[in-house]
Amino acid sequence: MGAEVTTRTGEPVLMKGNEAIAQGAIDAGCRAFFGYPITPQNQIPDYMSLHMPEVGGVFVQAESEVSAINMVYGASAAGARAMTASSSPGIALKQEGISYIAGAELPAVIVNVARGGSGLGNIAPAQSGYFMSVKGGGHGDYRTLVLGPWSVQELYDFMFDAFDLADRYRTPVVLLADAVLGQMMEPMRFDREPVDPAALPPKPWTTTGAKGRKRNIVNSLYIVAEDLEAVSRRIQARLDEAHKEVRWEGHQLEDAEVAFVAYGTAARVCLTAMEIARSQGIRAGLLRPITLYPFPSEAVAELAGRVRALLVVEMSLGQMVEDVRLAVNGRVPVELHGRTGGVVPTPREVYEALAGVQEVAGR
Amino acid sequence: MGAEVTTRTGEPVLMKGNEAIAQGAIDAGCRAFFGYPITPQNQIPDYMSLHMPEVGGVFVQAESEVSAINMVYGASAAGARAMTASSSPGIALKQEGISYIAGAELPAVIVNVARGGSGLGNIAPAQSGYFMSVKGGGHGDYRTLVLGPWSVQELYDFMFDAFDLADRYRTPVVLLADAVLGQMMEPMRFDREPVDPAALPPKPWTTTGAKGRKRNIVNSLYIVAEDLEAVSRRIQARLDEAHKEVRWEGHQLEDAEVAFVAYGTAARVCLTAMEIARSQGIRAGLLRPITLYPFPSEAVAELAGRVRALLVVEMSLGQMVEDVRLAVNGRVPVELHGRTGGVVPTPREVYEALAGVQEVAGR
Amino acid sequence: MGAEVTTRTGEPVLMKGNEAIAQGAIDAGCRAFFGYPITPQNQIPDYMSLHMPEVGGVFVQAESEVSAINMVYGASAAGARAMTASSSPGIALKQEGISYIAGAELPAVIVNVARGGSGLGNIAPAQSGYFMSVKGGGHGDYRTLVLGPWSVQELYDFMFDAFDLADRYRTPVVLLADAVLGQMMEPMRFDREPVDPAALPPKPWTTTGAKGRKRNIVNSLYIVAEDLEAVSRRIQARLDEAHKEVRWEGHQLEDAEVAFVAYGTAARVCLTAMEIARSQGIRAGLLRPITLYPFPSEAVAELAGRVRALLVVEMSLGQMVEDVRLAVNGRVPVELHGRTGGVVPTPREVYEALAGVQEVAGR
Amino acid sequence: MGAEVTTRTGEPVLMKGNEAIAQGAIDAGCRAFFGYPITPQNQIPDYMSLHMPEVGGVFVQAESEVSAINMVYGASAAGARAMTASSSPGIALKQEGISYIAGAELPAVIVNVARGGSGLGNIAPAQSGYFMSVKGGGHGDYRTLVLGPWSVQELYDFMFDAFDLADRYRTPVVLLADAVLGQMMEPMRFDREPVDPAALPPKPWTTTGAKGRKRNIVNSLYIVAEDLEAVSRRIQARLDEAHKEVRWEGHQLEDAEVAFVAYGTAARVCLTAMEIARSQGIRAGLLRPITLYPFPSEAVAELAGRVRALLVVEMSLGQMVEDVRLAVNGRVPVELHGRTGGVVPTPREVYEALAGVQEVAGR
């Protein structure tokens, strides 16, 4: 696969989601990948093990997920664009490490090709990792920026955004995908200019480690409570500033009387369901959050002001719905259609759920 | 300490919070403790290592936090009342294991004597582990029941409740304390009858492991998505049923025009601040959630119907405030006074924050 | 199995080797077992997990072999008769821990139900762990006492000896078995009186850990080289004293003109081969070392003074043969018949090897 | 340091032993280093972390010693010249991994900058890791080739030999140094031509991992005992062939009536002691084994035929002395002067020991 990919003709290429993530990372200047195997994301380390050496990058299969995320910590402290990838249980194991990276004010990219849980669960797609991505699944007040792609093209493109956001706000960034996105093949274009890591802006805070150069220390230890509070507020201020990066996409919201709110794979299902609804005379729309943190609360609130109800569709028992309700703050009913455990809802069932919401709200 | 403790005269005893937790666990029938050292909870494993053998229980200092939580998993599968204790970073490391226990529908008790974060942070008290306790910090749709004690007496008493709830709903239960509660000494009474583990109701689902007995398998693997969904819904149904266990406490809410919502150490501060406010002519009250999951949403909503504003006080940059806002759903303003990084707010500053809220809301 | 075992009628019982080891340990007063699964020794932890709780003992399946041996270290420092069991690769992982236990002058019992190697190898019987048991497979000048049983009865009996030797000489003791011995069933008698751990001689060096009692520290750190040398010599002096514990067994050595030297399973094969040889007019004998460290060098040297040659038979490419040659010191030829990788030599091939040696030596 | 090193003027450079090892490895074509910190070898990973990236190589600080050696396994299977370095306890932890590499018939270089033991011991120099290097400290019948340098120049030069031997015989090679050699500074020359890894002979057995290329599997699993035996004999045959690589060095052996046998740091001491002895009229010599496995048995045996006694000097309680005795096979007395725990014997004490041996042997 690698060779063809490098011929950037601008023509559409058929590519698997996980490979698009990996190539996207390399093109975005990532030169340090640390992973540990878990289905359904194994094509990412496979691809990295093959192609990282070609660009002088480092691929390490670590002893464990805990080890992998701490290697990301180290590589990032040394200035590299560094990442790890895993799936739900593996991401849970990385929570402490992510908190350390956040507390040390370091950039990093963490890819979650989510699968069904809790526990061992299965290897089918799921969105039940929303909470642990968006609320900060580890300890402390940190959050991570979270991107929710819905296509192979976005898997590729968002790797550029993820590394840029990470560097800009010195924060871990989570790319929250799922098994459908990771395993599907779609035509896509390599239409972004590869990043030369050497040409990136300098990071004056990195550990240079060498004689004669300025000595930096990267740490997350602050014995005095007031010091730690100051750092936590500085980190939060950066995250607040990152709210200007909020992204979402509207589909036929102009005349909508009722609207879906969904991200990722669930949003793809909703788009089809929306068309069914329109064909049935229901003026449905779709608001797709792209950044899950920062969440497009203003857009949701604005939309709530002009529809009769919102239907949140999630491949979970209800996680993003809380952020939608917080944004709506009681203005209109916010209903949930949730499937879990690896079940992807069908457009038909989602349409029917919408029709039910519309009927109740329409009275 | 141990010997005196066993003389249950009903007289108040001066006891350290962490020791009250440990003795509470033993009295509640816990016979399997697995830990790994971390400040500020080290008195718990210390106490356990000394006193568990006296009751024929098992104390193991594991190789790591990951190992400890998986030993809890194993001991619980075998039918024991099993627990672990740690502090914030250690709890983050346990998230995958907690998700496995939840997915395997097993009881377990996890104590978090929380400290400042993110990352290494410090060893001062914090409430920034609310999200990872209440939203399910690991992967999947599980939640854990969460108790938020505010006194040494409650640290002891709630261990009984934690083990009972865990068994009744076959779920992990988190006792969410902090460094203040763990380290403080307060008079308390051992006024609950010690539990004889042999007299507890049988658990027909345990792995008996022996010839001639029914063979059970404990697992969280469900290859077929619909099967996993069914299990996830069954687990959620138990959690929904557990909403009847919701507990909270009101202080002078009858005539309140403005009220604090706070738990644990922050609630202690608010109680004093409330008295200051009352002395200044502000009719302040305090609603203290005791169960953090299930959250006392109905009580908060009811209160929101008769006050002008709520002030959430947290030792974090704002986590429980989301659950309060979800409950209030726009009825009245919900403000936040949050300190983080190990800083405990003073009654004075909290009173002033309330006065500000009251002034704005009173217009 | 457990129940029958406790009826000590003195009648022969048919028992599997691994179970005899486990019951022997329990009867010898072992109350702390730490293991990690590996074939062909899994019946040991199985048995322990079932029966340890019956005697108030502790069974822990650790996170890894490294973790298990360090738990043995801890339990032994606290005064318990503690053990671990594994098979060849697992024992290799424990080498550092064994060196620590030796350096800390602690008793411990390590059972190796050896299998074919190097590497993953297979699960067939092997004696290629002789070197790493007898020469001290870890770092430093320590040795471990090593027992080489050859029957199920000895597997049981030697557990008493192992724990006694360990306590007497404050040293790790290795029971070196193999997959044949571990898996075979043989009649045996429980004719040793179970040890009450509470009735064992006090160990004044244990870490008592409690207020008001003498404070001991167990460690193997000696910054000053001369101090460490003194400790190493003290440890070696104990091992030298343990040379009085040397044990071996002779079979028809009185009139032997040529003799086998073999231990464990290989010695069983040699015993049959010896009978074949005798039936063919060759006056063969067998010297079976029982303690492998201390090695019965004097007995071998004495024997070398009155036979024409020795044939060492090992299920390895030649390890014990070095100790035999060191003992013989050039007096007579010492030949090797070695099979490896899990192959157990047949009596016929061993007889033929002996016949060849006899022919050459007889010239 | 790095920059100057690359100017290969042929002029003597003053270099620290550990750095000479690291630069030697890089010059020998090593492009994959996996380590974990331990004194007194930390300059090796330090140097590697700095200079490996300059040549496109990989430096990883792993989660543990166990992890590091298994990364060497992986990198070597993929065709890289790979190494790890540690000190005594760390090498003990690597024993299982070394056995796996040996069983998988892979090249690898393991550096042991040995320190005092057993256990934690101290950070002073020691030779008590001879057994675990030379006898195969892990499980199975494997051995490793072992080189025993005695100068900074040899530390550098032998890295070339180590990697060449490893590749030629598809076996792990141990460079057995100690804290004196690792920490000392000596003038040395970079007089060997750096190896271009791309110009090395192809390794047709590597895992290429890519479509369209031959698929190799690297493993050490052989379920059938006879298969494993065949592999073990094949490995041993290679080691037997490697006996032609035996190296040793004689000092004034031509007219010696008594001789030291010593390697590494101990040999340096003996060289001085030899001069003292000569000045006192004792015709002393020194035989310094350079390859410790294969051991120069023929040279030692030949020497034993013409001296009255041998004195083995070791910084241990006696390990190499066994190989000397096996070689001498009773011809002349072989005495030991051993110091341990980090003590380096003085030339004077060693001379006196020799004088005593000479006196007894001379009678």
Whether the CA torsion D294, D298, D303, D304 is positive or negative: it is positive
Confidence band of A4 (pLDDT split at 50, 70, 90): very low
pLDDT tens digits, one per residue of A269-293: 999 999 999 999 999 999 999 999 9
Q: CA A76 to CA A99: how far, in whole Å?
A: 14
Q: How far is CA B47 from the centre of its chain?
A: 20
Contact A50 D209 (CB under 8 A): yes
Chains contacting D with at least 3 CB pairs below 8 Å? A, C
Token pair 């690792």 is found at D182
Kindly tell me if the per-residue pLDDT of B5 is higher than 60.
no
Q: Distance from A68 to chain B by nearest Cα, in Å?
A: 14
pLDDT tens digits, one per residue of B253-272: 999 999 999 999 999 999 99
**In whole numbers, what is the pLDDT of chain C averaged over residues?**
95
What average pLDDT does the segment B75-87 reach?
97
pLDDT tens digits, one per residue of B220-253: 999 999 999 999 999 999 999 999 999 999 999 9
**What pLDDT was estimated at residue D362?**
75
Q: CA C241 to CA B252: how far, in whole Å?
A: 78
Kindly tell me if the per-residue pLDDT of B10 is higher than 90.
no
Q: Distance from C193 to chain B by nearest Cα, in Å?
A: 24
**What pLDDT was estimated at residue C2?**
37
C-beta of residue D282 within 8 angstroms of C-beta of residue D257 = yes
Q: Distance from C95 to chain D by nearest Cα, in Å?
A: 6
Contact A100 B114 (CB under 8 A): no
Q: Distance from A219 to chain B by nearest Cα, in Å?
A: 8
What average pLDDT does the segment A67-86 reach?
97
Q: Distance from B63 to chain C by nearest Cα, in Å?
A: 6
Report the residue of chain A nearest B322, measured CA to CA: A326
Which chain B residues are Cβ-neighbours of A235 within 8 angstroms? 118
Q: Distance from C165 to chain D by nearest Cα, in Å?
A: 20
Mutation target for D interface from A43, A47, A58, A66: give the one with most D CBs within 10 A.
A58
C-beta of residue D133 within 8 angstroms of C-beta of residue D177 = no
Tokens standing for residue B3: 């010997």
Q: Are strands B172-178 and B108-114 parallel, antiparallel or unpaired?
A: parallel
Q: Looking at A16-30, B39-53, B206-220, D297-311, which range is the least confident one? A: B206-220
What average pLDDT does the segment B64-91 reach?
97
Which of A139, A341, A342 minimises the CB distance to B92? A139
In angstroms, what CA-CA distances link A334 with A325, A363, B236, C267? 6, 16, 20, 79
How many residue pairs bridge chain A and chain D with CB atoms within 8 Å of each other? 31
Backbone angles phi, psi at B194, to 5 degrees: -60, 145
Backbone angles phi, psi at D327, to 5 degrees: -70, -40
Report the residue of chain C nearest D236, measured CA to CA: C317
Mutation target for C interface from D139, D336, D344: give the one with most C CBs within 10 A.
D139
Chains A and D touch (3+ CB pairs under 8 A): yes
Contact C221 D120 (CB under 8 A): yes
Q: Looking at C195-209, C220-234, D140-154, which range is the least confident one? A: C195-209
Confidence band of B1 (pLDDT split at 50, 70, 90): very low
What average pLDDT does the segment B346-358 reach?
97
What average pLDDT does the segment A193-219 reach?
88
Contact A326 B322 (CB under 8 A): yes
Confidence band of A8 (pLDDT split at 50, 70, 90): low
Chains contacting A with at least 3 CB pairs below 8 Å? B, D
pLDDT tens digits, one per residue of C327-352: 999 999 999 999 999 999 999 999 99
Report the residue of chain D nearest C123, measured CA to CA: D223
**What pLDDT was estimated at residue D107?**
98
Tokens standing for residue D45: 């990973």
**What pLDDT was estimated at residue C362?**
76
Mutation target for D interface from C69, C91, C139, C219: give the one with most D CBs within 10 A.
C139
**What pLDDT was estimated at residue B8?**
61
Q: Tell me which residues of chain D have a pLDDT lower than 70.
A: 1-10, 209-211, 363
In angstroms, what CA-CA distances link A52 with A32, A190, D55? 8, 18, 15
Which chain C residues are Cβ-neighbours of B62 within 8 angstroms? 62-63, 67
Which of B49, B50, B63 minimises the CB distance to C67? B63
Number of other residues whose CB lies within 10 A of the CB of residue D59: 19
pTM beyond 0.95: the answer is: no
ipTM, 2 decimals?
0.96
Report the residue of chain A nearest B228, measured CA to CA: A341
**What pLDDT was estimated at residue C5?**
47
Whether the CA torsion C105, C108, C109, C110 is positive or negative: it is negative
